[in-house]
Each structure stands twice: as structure tokens, then as C-alpha cells.
Amino acid sequence: MPSEPNLPPVSGAQPVRLWGGRFSDQTNALMERFNVSLPFDQALWAADIRGSLAYAHALARAGLISLPERDQLLAGLEAVADEWARGAFVTQPGDEDIHTAVERRLGELIGPTAGKLHTGRSRNDQVATDVRLWLRVQIDQLDAALRDLQEAAVTLADAHLDVLMPGTTHMQPAQPIRFSHWALSFFWMWQRDRARLAEVRRRVDVCPLGSGALAGTPFQIDRAALAADLGFAAVSQNSLDAVSDRDFVVEFLAWAALLGVHLSRLAEDLILWSNPQFGFVRVADAYSTGSSLMPQKRNPDALELVRGKSGRLLGNLLSLLTTLKGLPSTYNKDLQEDKEPLFDTAATLALALPVTAGVLRTLGVNAARMAAALSSDMLATDLADYLVRQGTPFRQAHHLVGQAVRRAEALGVTLSALPLAELQAITPAFGADVAAVWDFEHSVEQRAAPGGTARAAVAAQLRQAREMLHER
């Protein structure tokens, strides 16, 4: 039978429950294992203790505990936090969740006064607060990692400003572009990701503490002061909504899923280009692995994992949406299932972002192979534009150049090698100066409008990107 490493042992002795007063029979042993969340929600220990420290002050302000009792609670909570920080906290079989574990240990350290900390507070508003406090920290860390990734893309683009490469649509050669233009395309995706993350953070930054189980607190808790103590920008406006709201978790998971899509698209390009048949880029040894059988292999595993884990991020979002869609109002134990996808998503991105940045910072770029992959048929649009400048309507020009492409294929030559006489047989609008079209640098330099691939336009992107990165 497979082991179950994350489940606590079942003890014959039944611990005292926070909720056990109205029960006469013992909890089924399998139910104990099924119900427990401490193996994963212990990640909230710092947030849980921070919320409790603030709540102790709130109880004292409301006159519900004396100042000596407050100080006793504060000292005890700091001692519990120190144990967690040192890895010295010892969980017990009866520790159902992080809240139970902390409260149990607090009681062991300071005695009955620990029981006053839960006055007017439910695990429902407690966990809602903990998750918001925890997620706020994760968001700030992920934003910093995403900014670092943007810097890596800017550095890569700046270092290879003059490298030309084939641009593709439908994975078919389309038009020449600058490699730097490609690199910066992801900068703008990630800039939108950062803007969306800031919006998510704004909606995370709401304090539900003081909502009780669902109906609000019967005590004169100053919720505004409590929110201020915890650094929240606002107080929740409805207690029913406050304890059940997981919109902010869904938003974060949706944000992460879209970021994962963007990371996956970058990875896909680089995986293809690292194939020797392309040879456009070389993923550094630090971010590659080999084969256990084939000695010659260099596998871009870092990028393949980034691409693969994007599916994981999508799955985490769908998992929570599926859980939430069938819930009746206010708190239900189903909401316990929000944490594992949330924690997994944050942990996945905490690795994927710096790994991707590392790949970009160490990426080898083979300008010669990119240049060799440019072909004159990629200048067919330029040839049509030549006719447009001679006064030919574009739709007619497009048709005429299509005939030229077909004629070149029939003769077994490249489009640029098609004799002038052949071009003029299609339309006399072609003159001897058409030879100037067959210049890749000239092609990209014509695209100088803002957002284009001309050198000046890409340089302008770089300047704007740097300004954005240095904004405070």
C-alpha cells in the first residue's frame, strides 16, 4: 500500500477540539486524516501570527482584555513565531490546521489567557485574513521577479540590436525582423502582466478580520485600526462576503495562468530555435541537461519545464473555479481547497521566473545562422510595396507579385534571381531600380513607424522600456 507522507499519524487519544464541546462521540480516524490541513496550510504561520498580534491589540483597545493580558499574548505569540522561524515548532496529532496549532502552543506557553485571543474571532475570518496577508507578500516578490525578467529581455535586446532574423507567421517565413524586436515583444507582454498583478494586489489589500464566522463581531472591535495595524488599505464591507470571498485567489490564479502562457510562448520559440536544424540560439549549459543514453544530446530542459508548468498553472485555476461554482453563501469547508493550488502556483512561478531570466541572460545568439536563414521570398511584400510606389493599387500589386513568386518556383530560382525581363513580362511597372528591394537591412529600416522593427523604432522601445523599469 502506498505511503501517505503528508498525513499526520492517527492517535488513540482524542485531543481537545476548538469545536468539540457539543460532540459526544470521537471523530472517525479516517475523517481526522481527511479533515486536516496543517501539512499545507502551515505555510501561513507567519501571516497567522501577525494577524493574531494585531487582534490582541484590538481586543485591548476594545477593553475585552487587560493590558497585562495583551502583553502576555504578545509575548507568547512572539515565542511561537520564533519556534516556527527556527524550525523548532513541534506539531501534534490534534493540530487540525495552522490556527489550531498556534493556539494550542500558545496555551502551552502562557496558559488560560491564550483562550481569550479568539474572542469574537472565527477561523473563518482568521483564515481569510491570513491568506490575504500571505498573498500580498507573494505578489510583491513575484512582481520583483517579473521586473527582473523584463530587465533580462531588455539586456538581451540591447546586446543584439543589429541582428536580423526571419520573422514568421503560421511558423512559415514571413518578413525579416530584428532579433531585438522579438525579445522586446515579451517585455510588453510582461508589462501588461505587471499591470494586471497590481490590480490583483489592490483587491487583495482588504481586511476581513472582525467579520466573525459570518454575521460580524458583537464586540466593539475597531476594524479600521485593526486593518491599519495589518497594513491593509481597506476594510471589508459585508461580513458574509468577507469570510467566503475567494475572488482575489481566483484573480491571482488567472493572472498566473496568463503569465504562464506568455512564458510558455517564449520557451516554445527558444526550444525550436535551439534545435541544430535552426541553430539560432544556444541555451547555456547551466540551463540544459543531457541524455542518459545519447552522449551528444543537449536538451533545453529549463525551457521545457517552463512550458510544461504553464499547464499546471492553468489546472490550478480551473480546480478552484470548479470548487467555487457550487458553493452556497458564506463559509464552507470546500474553501480549504483554495490553498494547495494557490501555494503551488506561487511556488511554481517563484522558480519559473528566475530560471527564465537566467536563460535569457546566458543565451547564445548565432547571428550568422539567423542571417543565413533569410531568403528573398521574405521580401515579396517589399516587392509589392515597390509597385505601390509606382502607382499600382496594393491588391493588384499583391496579385502581380504572387505571379512572380509562381514564375520563380517554375524556373527553380529564388525570387531575387528572377530576371528583370521576367518581372517586366508580368508588369512593365518593374524597372531596373527594383534590384534595391533585395536588401534585408533596407527592408527592416523601412518599418520605422512607432512599434516597427527599424533600428530607430527598436531603440525607442528600448528607451521606453528602461524608463518603465526605473519608475517607482
Helices (H) then strands (E): counts for the chain: 18, 6
Question: What is the rounded distance in angstroms from the CA atom of residue 373 to the CA atom of residue 279?
Answer: 10
Nearest to 456 by CA among 469, 447, 465: 447
Q: 337 phi and psi, to 5 degrees?
A: -80, 5
**pLDDT value for 434:** 96
Euclidean distance between the first and final Cα of the chain, in Å? 55
Lowest-pLDDT range of 6-10, 105-109, 373-377: 6-10
- Average pLDDT value for residue range 383-406: 96
Identify the pLDDT of residue 4. Answer: 40
Residue 14 has pLDDT above 90, yes or no: no
Buried b (16+ CB within 10 A) or exposed e, 214-241: bebbeeebebeebbebbebeebbeebee
Catalytic residues, by residue number, are 170, 291
- Range 164-191 average pLDDT: 97
Q: Residue 304: its pLDDT value, please?
A: 97
The pLDDT of residue 17: 59
**Res 213: pLDDT:** 95
How much of the chain, in percent, has pLDDT values that exceed 70?
95
Beta strands in 53-163 (DSSP E): none
pLDDT-based confidence at residue 223 (cuts at 50, 70, 90):
very high
How far is residue 51's CA from residue 44's CA, in Å, rounded to a whole number?
11
For residue 13, the model assigns a pLDDT of 42
Entry pTM = 0.91
For residue 20, pLDDT over 70 is answered with no
pLDDT the model gives residue 31: 73
16 has pLDDT over 80: no
**Rounded CA gap, 55 and 93, in Å?**
27
Q: What is the pLDDT of residues 304-332, one digit of tens each?
A: 999 999 999 999 999 999 999 999 999 99
The average pLDDT across 419-445 equals: 96
By C-alpha distance, which of 61, 55, 66 is closest to 117? 55
- Quick one: fold of 124-156+178-372? Fumarase C; Chain A, domain 2 (1.20.200)
Q: Long-range contacts made by residues 297-304, C-beta under 8 angstroms, separation at least 24?
A: 298/274, 300/270, 300/271, 300/274, 302/355, 302/356, 302/358, 302/359, 303/267, 303/270, 303/271, 303/274, 303/356, 303/359, 304/267, 304/271
Domain range list for the chain: 29-119, 124-156+178-372, 376-469
SS percent in the chain: helix, strand, coil, step 5:
65, 5, 30
pLDDT for 82-94, tens place per residue?
999 999 999 998 8
Q: Which of 139, 145, 160, 137 is nearest to 356 (CA)?
A: 145
Average pLDDT over residues 379-390: 96
Mean pLDDT within 171-193:
97
Q: What is the pLDDT of residue 110?
A: 98
- Given a cut of 90, is residue 8 above it in pLDDT? no
Provide the CB-side half-sphere exposure for 119 (13 A, CA). 22
Query: Given this model, what pLDDT does residue 34 score?
Result: 76
Q: What is the pLDDT of residue 22?
A: 67
Q: Please write the tens of the pLDDT for every residue from 256-302.
A: 999 999 999 999 999 999 999 999 999 999 999 988 888 888 899 99
364-365 and 281-282 strand pairing: antiparallel
Question: How high is the pLDDT of residue 168?
Answer: 96
- Residue 203, Cα to own-chain centre: how many angstroms? 17
Tens of pLDDT along 423-435? 999 999 999 999 9
376-469 maps to which CATH number?
1.10.40.30
Assigned fold of 29-119? Fumarase C; Chain B, domain 1 (1.10.275)
Q: Mean pLDDT of all residues in the chain?
A: 93
- For the four alpha carbons of 333, 210, 109 and 76, in that order, the dihedral sign comes to positive
105: pLDDT strictly greater than 60: yes
